[in-house]
Chain A
Amino acid sequence: MTNYPVATVEEYGYKDYRVLQKIYKIFSIVAVLFIVFLLYISIIMLAIQSVNSSSDVLLFDTFTLKWYAQMFSTRSLTNAIKVTFVTSIVATSIATVLGTLIAVGIYSYEKKTRQKIMLLNNIPLLNADIVTGISLMFVFSLLLPIFPYIFGPTTLIMAHLFFTLPYVILSVLPKLKETDPNLMDAALDLGVGPYKALRKIIVPAIIAGIFSGMLLAFTMSIDDFVISYFTTGNGFDNLSVWVYASIGRKSLNPSVYAFSTLLTIMTLVIMFIYQSLMRRGKKHA
C-alpha cells in the first residue's frame, strides 16, 4: 500500500481558516472569563476594602480583621442588617406560598384570559423601580388617615411582597404546564378533595419551579433599594437605605464591607454544598 499524502483544504480550492478558528476560540474563552471577572470586580473591591485597616477607602494601610469584629457593635448597621433579613425572609416566605397558589389559579383559566392576567402580572416586573416605589407610596399614603403609623415594617413588607410575587408566579407557571393534566383528574377520581390533591400531587410535581421562584424572589428582595426607599418609614431602614444615607453623609462605616464580604462567602459556601449534594444525589439515583 502506497502512502499518499493527505489532501489539504487548499488543494480543493478553499482557504484553510482552521488556525483562525482556533485563535477565535481561545480569544472568546479569555474574553468570557474577563467579562465574568468584571462582573465580580466590585465584589473583589469590597473584599479588599473590608481588610484595609485605614478607613480611607482609597489608600491601603495594613491587613486587618477589625471591621469583621466590629460588625455587630455598630448599632445602626446591626439594625439595618436585621431589617433587611426580616423583610426579605418574611416577604419571600409569603410570596412563595401565595405565588404558588396564585399560579395554580391563573393556570386554571383558559389561555386567552391567562395571557391577559400575565400581562398584568408583568407590570410590577417591568415597571421602573422608581415608578413602583412612588405608586406604592401613593396607595399607602391614601391609607394614612385610617392607619396613621402604617409606614414602616408593614409597608416595607407589603412592597417587597408586591414585587416578589410576579417572580414566583413566573417561575411556577412553566412547571405547571409541564405537569400531566390527567394527574389532577386521577387524584379527584380516587376520591381526594381538590386542595388535598393540590398539596399531595401538584406541589411535589412543581417543587423545582417553586424553589427557583423563591430564590429569585429573595435575590430581588435583599438587593432592593429604590422601592424600599420610597415605602419605608419610622426609621425602619434596610441595608440599602442605610447605605444610601451613609454615602450621602460620606460616613460609610467600613464594617459594612466586612458584612457584605462575609455574606458573599457564605452564599458561595452554601451554593458549593448544595451543588455537591446534588451531584452525590445524582450518582446514587
Chain B
Amino acid sequence: MNKEFKLLAKPYIAWLFILAILPIFVMIGLSFMFSEGLSFEGSYFTFDQFSLLGEDSTLTAFGNSLMYASLTAAISLVLGYFVAYNVYKSNFKNKFMILTIFILPMWSNLLLRSEALANLLDENNIINDLLSRVGLGMEIGLRGTPAAVIIGLVLTYLPFMILPIYTALEKIDYSLEEAALDLGLTKMQKFWKVIFPLSLKGVATGTILVFLPSMSGFAIPEILGSGNILLIGNIIEQSFRNMDYNLGSLLSIFILIFILGSLYVVSKVDKEGETLL
C-alpha cells in the first residue's frame, strides 16, 4: 500500500493516546490522592483508599467478581464450544444467517433483556401466571440469588464465546481432518489432537470477551441480583456516584491489571486481532 497513507493513521494513534492511555495515568494519580471529585485544588497525597481495600465489602466484591466471571466463562466455554462445533459440523453453511442468529439478541437493549429475564426468574412470573390457569403452575424463584446472576451473565455473553470459536473452527483446513482420519485417528482423537488445538485462538479470545465484561459489569448483577450481590463494578459505580473518585480510580486500576493481562494474551495468540470479531 502507498506510504502516503501512513498519515491517515497518525491522528488515530494520538486519539488513542489521549483517550485511552492518558486517563490511566490520571487514574493512577487519583488513587494516591484525596481530592474533591476531579478538582486538584486542595487535594493531597494519601494512602487512605488503600485501607478501604481491606474492608469486608470490597474484599467480598473482589471475590464475587472473580468467582462469577470464572464460572460464567467456564459455563459459556462449554456451551459455546458445543454450539459452535455443532454449527460448524452441520450442513448449515450460511455464515450471514449464523451471525445474525447470534447477534440479533444483542440488538435489544441489554438492560431491558436483563429486566425481562429477572421478571421471568421471579417467583410469580407471567409464564407461571399463564401456566397456572391451565393447572401447570410451578414456582421457581431465582431472582436475587447467585444462580440468577450467573444465568443472566451466561445468556448475555454467550454469543461472544460462540462467534470467535466458530470463526476459528471455520478457518481449519478440511484436508487436515482427512489426513488425521487417514493416519488412523479415531473421531475422538481427531477432535482432541487436531481440531481443538487449532481452535484455541478462538477459545482464548472468547474466554477473554466473556470473562472481562462479566467481571467488571454492574448492571446485570444489580438487576438480576436485586441488589443483594455486589461485584467490583457495583462498588466502582457507587464510589463515582458518591463523588469518591479516589477509591473508584484505585479499584479501576485493579480491573485494568486484568485487562492488560488479557491484552498480552491476545497479542500472543492473535497478533492482529483477527478472531476478536
Contacts and interface: CB of A to CB of B under 8 A. Distances in A.
Contact of B9 (A29, A105, A131): A105
The DSSP consensus for interface residues of chain A is: helix
A83 interface: no
A40 B117 CA distance: 10
Nearest to A158: B19
Interface stretch (A4-12, A68-76, A120-128): A120-128
Contact of A130 (B8, B17, B116, B216): B216
A41 interface: yes
Interface string A183-201: 0100010000010011000
B9 A109 contact: yes
Contact of A271 (B6, B104, B272): B104
B111 A247 contact: yes
Interface residues of B, number: 92
A210 interface: no
A39 B151 CA distance: 11
A216 interface: yes
B216 A264 contact: no
A176 interface: yes
B110 to A, nearest CB: 5
B248 interface: yes
Contact of B106 (A120, A219, A226, A244): A219
A167 to B, nearest CB: 7
A232 interface: no
A243 B105 CA distance: 17
Contact of A134 (B105, B110, B252, B272): B252
B273 A122 contact: yes
B3 A120 contact: no
Interface in A196-228: 197-198, 212, 216, 219, 222-223, 225-226
Interface size class of A (residues with CB under 8 A): 35 or more
Contacts of B26: 135, 138, 142
Contacts of B127: 45, 48
B1 A108 contact: yes
Contact of A105 (B6, B223, B237): B6
Nearest to A230: B240
A60 B128 CA distance: 9
Contact of B216 (A32, A38, A128, A165): A128
Given A49-B119, A240-B110, A275 B276 contact: no
Interface in B1-29: 1-10, 12-13, 15-24, 26-27
Contact of A275 (B10, B22, B27, B97): B97
A220 to B, nearest CB: 8
A123 B212 CA distance: 12
A43 interface: yes
B27 A240 contact: no
Contacts of B19: 124, 135-136, 139, 162
B155 A38 contact: yes
B52 interface: no
Given A134-B27, A230-B240, A127 B107 contact: no
Given A126-B208, A271-B104, 20 more contacts: A29-B86, A39-B158, A42-B116, A43-B105, A58-B119, A107-B5, A119-B263, A122-B266, A122-B267, A131-B256, A132-B20, A134-B236, A136-B19, A138-B23, A139-B18, A142-B38, A162-B15, A219-B103, A240-B110, A260-B108
Interface of B: 1-10, 12-13, 15-24, 26-27, 38, 79, 82-83, 86-87, 96-97, 100-117, 119-120, 122, 124-127, 129-130, 155, 158-159, 208-209, 212-213, 215-219, 223, 233, 236-237, 240, 248-249, 252, 255-256, 259, 262-263, 266-267, 271-274, 276-277
